[in-house]
């Protein structure tokens, strides 16, 4: 025998023949991706450990490890130690993050996501659930259906999983009581009816003792259904992605030399063949497929799940994120969408704040324009709210920086799902599922005006811009802005001042001082300032504007060089000492809440265009400095 | 019988290709960490397929501890030549200066300086913002918890308690300057999947994976191959020729062989199917203490 065998060698060895016949026998064996979820201590990790050990998927040294980790030489195996892979998990005896396990039986291959039960790790549970087709929801027979059981059932249904098994665990601890089991099933059904599961199987079991996990239990003659493994091996799932309309997301432009231009990506649903006509979205251009290229040679046809490179019959402009579809099977396109959000971050969702949005390979910015309602996961009630806190679920309208090409999540999870990313912390703050596009996007078109900003700017002999003064209450923003306007006015410049207090008397009088309202406050002012800049004015905005992300959002509404962030840098002690409106005194006395600097944060600018330390200067000196800066920048 | 990829392996292959393309499109300067082992061979094979007819739009990086088996280095250079790869090799200069060796300094210090620190240096010097690795979730239980995009702060540390949610196929590549991502396209592959793929795709691997008579000394139950004369023999130790192979490849005094007669890939696969021990059992460094892999990863190890 040689070490490197020749392909297709005539003298096939015995091992090779056995391997090929095993592979042939396994070919029809499908794959089931499922998760285990449920409340903490309901025994999820133990159940997976039991499934792995009983289906002989655990190696001896790993089994030995499960004993050794337990800090004892006990013969009893702690099944959960096989899956709780993080030190912190073993110390606290809980699951923090989702673990993936791979095992197979003669009938099926399985990828199981073991997800955490603690409410603060719900995001990890959702991560595990998003790629699964089936869920095993555990319930401790002693405790019945708990709030966390309901939350997980909700998220499972939200993510589009249609079939689940409710595994009523620890039956051994309640004497294998049939009546209790029936009660739990009734309880769950009463709650879950609106979630729209197609199939819920209730299975009484004991993960620790092994009852009804793989082998039928001798203790529950009253139960006639399948064991959990029996159910996992036979349940029919699948979203039949191949039967859906053709969708292909362009991930990467493949251009090795001038004679080849291809578009690499994955077919997310449907199928395509050489010669067929396709439409590129969002441009709407029509082309035909010339070649379907792979590293193994060209294909005639590609279907859902395949990673290929498409070559078109003619050269057209195609970018990363574009979606290729067939004619008459258009995806939606809108810059306003209705979506469900699951919030993952400790920082709450604030309507109006600008987040990065990633949908397939498309990336743009998005703001939540309204939170329609939150979902109470205990009873599925709709609850009014202004923000989403960690682990809350809400129905929202979002508006995006660029139009999105998408499908509703219910018909195509691949092209209907997105992440929201905080643009400062870079954390993934939410997962979203698009319900539908809001027609408003296509109805409200930007009216092109014949006289533009440039024309007005020339007539006025000035470069329109916004001077954005940020700083604590009492720092001197309004005083300096006012002084600046007087000076500019005297010089014959066209100006306007947007003052925080004044705007709150009109445009923003419906807003309070919560974080959510502060964000909306800034959004409206920034938009108003933008209109004035369009009109050719030099606009001074004097707003506390305490959050970096909103100042950044404001900046992005303007062209380069149009937005000058001016940090009116007055220390809190000094502002409090001045206290021109007596507000600090009231805030300290607890008469005003959410007061910046006292019980609400002020995030200092990291790189303002102009830093104005006020401690040792008069407003006149400060405005003189600013004027010099404006001249230097060619604004006046 | 004819060889062709099973439906399942084709799914795994497509998933890995999708991940590689996504990272290549999103990061400014990715690099493929090439460790010469079987997983790296598969990773490289996938990279060549993913971007075809283009070349992979990133170089390969090998962290050479100077204690790799000779056959590994020969294989590396042969493959680089055969596939015309842009291969860069880095060794921690401090390690060379101080003559760090797993024998005199112990496995923990050697691994830290020659692997973890060396890797950080090479990533920093190359300005790489993403590094592909061949890690699989079935290898070890802290790996089972890792995301496909594994975020590292500017000190290359992994925080297992604050991993970014990764739903559907969507990954978050946003980072601040200095931070980086480890990208694991083989996350969902098992050892058996890797070998079956190697067999069906005829992917070359280091000959050390195949059983052969090799000079071996037995230490604490581990079969250590005497690869060159740098391994000091204890009193009474004489290398004996034993029929062994390596299930996993690392630094030579730290990687134990297993007794085996498997000289072909199908025989290796058969051996794995029947085995009662896990793949990393031969890795001395994993067994310092429970959770030691996790600890090394937090410090920046792959």
- Kindly write down the DSSP assignment for every residue of A105-122, as one continuous string: -SSEEEEEEE---SGGGH
Verify that A428 and A464 share a domain, yes or no: no
- Residues of chain A contacting residue B3, judged by C-beta atoms under 8 Å apart: 7-8, 20
Does A114 lie in the same domain as A195? yes
Number of structural domains found in chain A: 4
Residue among B141, B190, B212 minimizing CB distance to A83 = B141
The dihedral formed by the CA atoms of A497, A503, A505 and A509, expressed in degrees to the nearest 10: 180
User: Which residues, at least 6 apart from A372, have a Cβ–Cβ distance to it below 8 Å?
Assistant: A338, A394, A395, A396, A397
- Those residues of chain A that have pLDDT short of 70 are 1-12, 56-77, 79-94, 238-242, 439-450
From A383's Cα to the closest Cα of chain B, the distance in A is 25
pLDDT of residue B290: 46
Task: Answer yes or no: is pLDDT of B278 > 80.
Answer: no
Closest C-alpha to B180, from B137, B136, B120: B120
**Mutating which of A53, A67, A87, A359 best tests the B interface, going by the most B Cβ atoms within 10 A?**
A87
Residue A22 lies in a domain: no
From the list B141, B164, B269, the residue facing A427 with the nearest CB is B164
The single residue of A332, A417, A545, A549 carrying the catalytic annotation is A545
Whether A23 is in a domain gets the answer no
Q: Do A27 and B49 touch (CB under 8 A)?
A: no
Q: What is the pLDDT of residues B47-82, one digit of tens each?
A: 999 999 999 999 999 999 888 888 999 999 999 999
**In Å, how far is A487's CA from the nearest CA of chain B?**
41
Check whether B289 has a pLDDT greater than 70.
no
Q: Which residue in chain B is spatially nearest to A90 when comparing CA positions? A: B291
Of the residues A325, A340, A357, which one is the last residue of a structural domain?
Answer: A325
Q: Does B104 touch chain A (CB under 8 A)?
A: no
The pLDDT value recorded for residue A284 is 86
DSSP string, A567-629: EEE--HHHHHHH-TTSHHHHHHTTSS-S-BTTTB-----SS-SEEEE-TT--HHHHHHHHHHH
Which residue, A274, A308, A325, sits at the end of a domain? A325
Alpha helices in A439-582 (DSSP H): 440-443, 453-460, 477-490, 500-505, 515-534, 548-556, 572-578
Residue A17 belongs to some domain of the structure = no
pLDDT-wise least confident of A176-185, B125-134, B229-238: B229-238
**CATH number of the domain enclosing A354:** 2.40.30.10
Two tokens at B102? 């797993």
- Whether A13 maps to a domain, the answer reads no
Q: Answer yes or no: is A19 within a domain.
A: no
Chains A–B, number of C-beta pairs less than 8 Å apart:
204
- Looking at residue B207, what is its pLDDT? 93
Structure token digits, residue B301: 């190890």
A167 and A262 both lie in a single domain: no
Model pLDDT for residues B183-215, shown as the tens digit of each residue: 999 999 998 999 999 999 999 999 999 999 989
* Residues 6+ positions from A26 with CB-CB distance below 8 Å: B6
Give the residue numbers spanning the domain of A273: 241-325
Same domain? A132 vs A105: yes
DSSP character at residue A228: H
- Could you tell me the pLDDT band of residue B284, with boundaries at 50, 70 and 90? low
Put simply, the answer to whether A90 touches B291 (Cβ < 8 Å) is yes
Residues A161 and A205 in one domain: yes
The whole-angstrom separation of Cα A192 and Cα A156 is 11
C-beta of residue A399 within 8 angstroms of C-beta of residue A367: yes
pLDDT at B264: 92
A227: tokens are 């064991």
Q: Residue B298 pLDDT > 80, yes or no?
A: no
| CB within 8 Å: A296 and B49 | yes
- The answer to whether residue A54 sits within a structural domain is yes
- Whether A75 is covered by a domain: the verdict is yes
**Token couple for B158:** 């992994």
Q: Check B168 against A98: CB less than 8 A apart.
A: no
- Write down the pLDDT at residue A7: 45
Strands A465-470 and A563-569: parallel
Contact list, A421 vs chain B (CB under 8 Å): 172, 174
Give the one of A18, A252, A428 whose C-beta lies nearest to B270's C-beta: A18
Chain B residues near residue A428 by CB distance under 8 angstroms: 164-166, 172
Q: Could you report the per-residue pLDDT of A40-81, keeping only the tens digit for each?
A: 777 887 888 888 877 766 666 666 666 555 444 445 567 666
Residues A491-521: b if buried by 16+ CB within 10 A, e if exposed: eebbbbbbbbeebbeeebeebebbbbbbbbb
Residue with tokens 């009546």: A179
Please confirm, yes or no, whether A545 is among the known catalytic residues.
Answer: yes
Per-residue model confidence (pLDDT) at position A168: 94
Cβ within 8 Å, pair A19-B199: yes
Is A100's CB within 8 Å of B161's CB? no
Whether residues A170 and A58 share a domain: the answer is yes
Cite the beta strand spans of B110-211 per DSSP E.
Answer: 130-132, 149-152, 180-183
Distance from CA of A567 to the nearest CA of B (A): 23
- State which fold the B7-202+291-298 domain adopts: Rossmann fold (3.40.50)
Burial label for A14, CB within 10 Å (0-12, 13-18, 19+), is exposed
Distance CA B168, CA A241 (A): 14
Q: B13 to chain A: which residues are within 8 Å by CB?
A: 307
Q: How confident is the model at residue B107 (pLDDT cuts 50, 70, 90)?
A: confident
Q: Which of A130, A307, A431 comes nearest B17 by C-beta?
A: A307
Of A232, A205, A210, which is closest to residue A54 (Cα–Cα)? A210
- All residues of chain B having their beta carbon less than 8 Å from the beta carbon of residue A60 are 276-277
At A177-188, the pLDDT tens digits run 999 999 999 999
Interchain pair B170, A17: CB under 8 A: no
Residue A43's CATH number: 3.40.50.300
B93 to chain A, closest Cα gap in Å: 33
Domain locations in chain B as residue ranges: 7-202+291-298, 207-287
CA distance A72 to A80: 15
List of chain A residues whose C-beta atoms are within 8 Å of the C-beta of residue B275: 59
Query: pLDDT tens digit string along A575-589?
Result: 988 888 888 888 888
**Residue where a domain terminates, one of A234, A259, A294:** A234
3-state DSSP helix/strand/coil % of chain B, to nearest 5 = 40, 15, 45
With an 8 Å Cβ cutoff, is B82 touching chain A?
no
Shared domain for A316 and A425, answered yes or no, is: no
């Amino acid at each position: 025998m040689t070490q490197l065998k020749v392909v297709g060698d005539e003298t096939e060895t015995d091992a090779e023949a056995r391997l090929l016949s095993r592979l042939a026998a396994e070919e029809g064996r499908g794959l089931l991706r499922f998760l285990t979820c449920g409340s903490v201590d309901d025994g999820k990790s133990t159940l997976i450990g039991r499934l792995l050990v009983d289906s002989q998927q655990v190696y001896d040294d790993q089994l030995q490890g499960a004993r050794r980790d337990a800090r004892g030489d006990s013969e009893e195996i702690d099944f959960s130690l096989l899956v709780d892979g993080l030190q912190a998990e073993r110390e606290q005896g809980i699951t923090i993050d989702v673990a993936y396990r791979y095992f197979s039986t003669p009938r099926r291959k399985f990828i199981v996501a073991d997800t955490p039960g603690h409410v603060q790790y719900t995001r990890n549970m959702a991560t595990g659930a998003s790629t699964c087709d089936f869920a095993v929801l555990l319930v401790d027979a002693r405790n019945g259906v708990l709030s966390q059981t309901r939350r997980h059932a909700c998220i499972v249904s939200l993510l589009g999983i249609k079939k689940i098994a409710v595994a009523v665990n620890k039956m051994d601890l309640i004497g294998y009581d049939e009546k209790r089991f029936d009660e739990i099933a009734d309880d769950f059904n009463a709650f879950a009816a609106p979630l729209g599961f197609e199939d819920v199987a209730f299975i009484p079991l004991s993960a620790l003792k092994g009852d009804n996990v793989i082998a039928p239990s001798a203790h529950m003659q009253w139960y006639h259904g399948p064991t959990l493994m029996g159910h996992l091996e036979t349940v029919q799932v699948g979203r039949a992605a191949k039967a859906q309309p053709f969708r292909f997301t362009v991930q990467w432009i493949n251009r090795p030399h001038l004679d080849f231009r291809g578009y690499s990506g994955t077919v997310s649903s449907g199928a395509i063949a050489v010669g067929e006509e396709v439409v590129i979205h969002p441009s709407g251009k029509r082309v035909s497929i010339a070649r379907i290229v792979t590293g193994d040679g060209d294909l005639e046809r590609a279907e859902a799940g395949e990673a290929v490179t498409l070559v078109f019959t003619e050269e057209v402009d195609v970018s990363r994120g574009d979606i290729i579809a067939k004619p008459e099977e258009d995806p939606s396109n809108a810059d306003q969408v209705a979506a469900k959000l699951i919030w993952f971050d400790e920082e709450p969702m604030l309507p109006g704040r600008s987040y990065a949005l990633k949908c397939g390979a498309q990336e743009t910015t998005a703001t939540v324009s309204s939170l329609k309602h939150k979902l109470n996961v205990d009873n599925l009630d709709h609850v009014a709210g202004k923000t989403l806190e960690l682990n809350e679920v809400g129905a929202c309208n979002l508006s995006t920086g660029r139009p999105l090409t998408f499908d509703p999540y219910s018909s195509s999870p691949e092209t209907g799902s997105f992440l929201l990313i905080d643009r400062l912390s870079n954390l993934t703050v939410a997962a979203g599922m698009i319900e539908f596009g809001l027609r408003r996007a296509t109805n409200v078109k930007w009216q092109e005006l014949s006289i533009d900003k440039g024309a007005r700017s020339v007539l006025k002999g000035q470069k329109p811009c916004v001077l954005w003064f940020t700083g604590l209450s009492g720092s001197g923003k309004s005083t300096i802005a006012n002084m600046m306007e007087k000076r500019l006015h005297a010089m014959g410049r066209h100006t306007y001042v947007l003052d925080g207090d004044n705007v709150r008397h009109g445009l923003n009088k419906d807003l309070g001082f919560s974080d959510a309202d502060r964000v909306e406050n800034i959004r409206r002012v920034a938009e108003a300032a933008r209109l004035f800049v369009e009109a050719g004015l030099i606009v001074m905005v004097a707003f506390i504007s305490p959050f970096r992300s909103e100042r950044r959002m404001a900046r992005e509404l303007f062209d380069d060089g149009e937005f000058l962030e001016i940090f009116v840098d007055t220390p809190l002690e000094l502002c409090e000492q001045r206290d021109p409106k007596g507000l600090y005194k009231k805030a300290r006395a607890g008469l005003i809440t959410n007061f910046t600097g006292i019980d609400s944060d002020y995030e200092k600018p990291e790189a303002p265009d102009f830093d104005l330390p006020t401690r040792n200067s008069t407003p006149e000196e400060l405005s003189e400095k600013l004027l010099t800066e404006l001249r230097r920048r060619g604004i006046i | 019988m004819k060889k062709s990829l099973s439906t399942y392996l084709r799914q795994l292959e497509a998933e890995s290709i999708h991940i590689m393309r996504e990272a290549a499109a999103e990061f400014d300067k990715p690099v493929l960490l090439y460790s010469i082992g079987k997983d790296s061979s598969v990773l490289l094979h996938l990279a060549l397929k993913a971007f075809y007819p283009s070349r992979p739009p990133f170089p390969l990086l090998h962290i050479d501890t100077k204690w790799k088996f000779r056959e590994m280095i020969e294989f590396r250079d042969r493959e680089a030549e055969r596939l015309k790869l842009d291969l860069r090799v880095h060794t921690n200069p401090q390690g060379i200066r101080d003559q760090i060796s797993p024998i005199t300094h112990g496995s923990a210090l050697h691994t830290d300086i020659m692997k973890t620190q060396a890797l950080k240096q090479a990533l920093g010097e190359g300005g790489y913002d993403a590094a592909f690795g061949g890690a699989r979730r079935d290898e070890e239980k802290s790996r089972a918890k890792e995301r496909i995009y594994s975020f590292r702060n500017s000190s290359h540390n992994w925080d297992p308690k604050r991993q970014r949610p990764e739903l559907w196929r969507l990954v978050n590549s946003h980072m601040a300057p200095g931070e980086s991502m480890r990208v694991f396209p083989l996350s969902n592959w098992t050892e058996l999947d890797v070998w079956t793929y190697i067999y069906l795709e005829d992917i070359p691997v280091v000959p050390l994976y195949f059983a052969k008579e090799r000079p071996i000394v037995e230490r604490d139950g581990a079969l250590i191959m005497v690869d060159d004369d740098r391994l000091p023999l204890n009193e009474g130790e004489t290398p004996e020729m034993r029929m062994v192979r390596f299930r996993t490849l690392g630094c030579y005094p730290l990687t134990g062989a297993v007794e085996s007669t498997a000289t072909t890939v199908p025989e290796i696969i058969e051996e794995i199917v029947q085995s009662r021990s896990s793949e990393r059992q031969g890795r001395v460094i994993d067994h310092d203490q429970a959770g030691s892999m996790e600890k090394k990863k937090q410090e920046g190890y792959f």
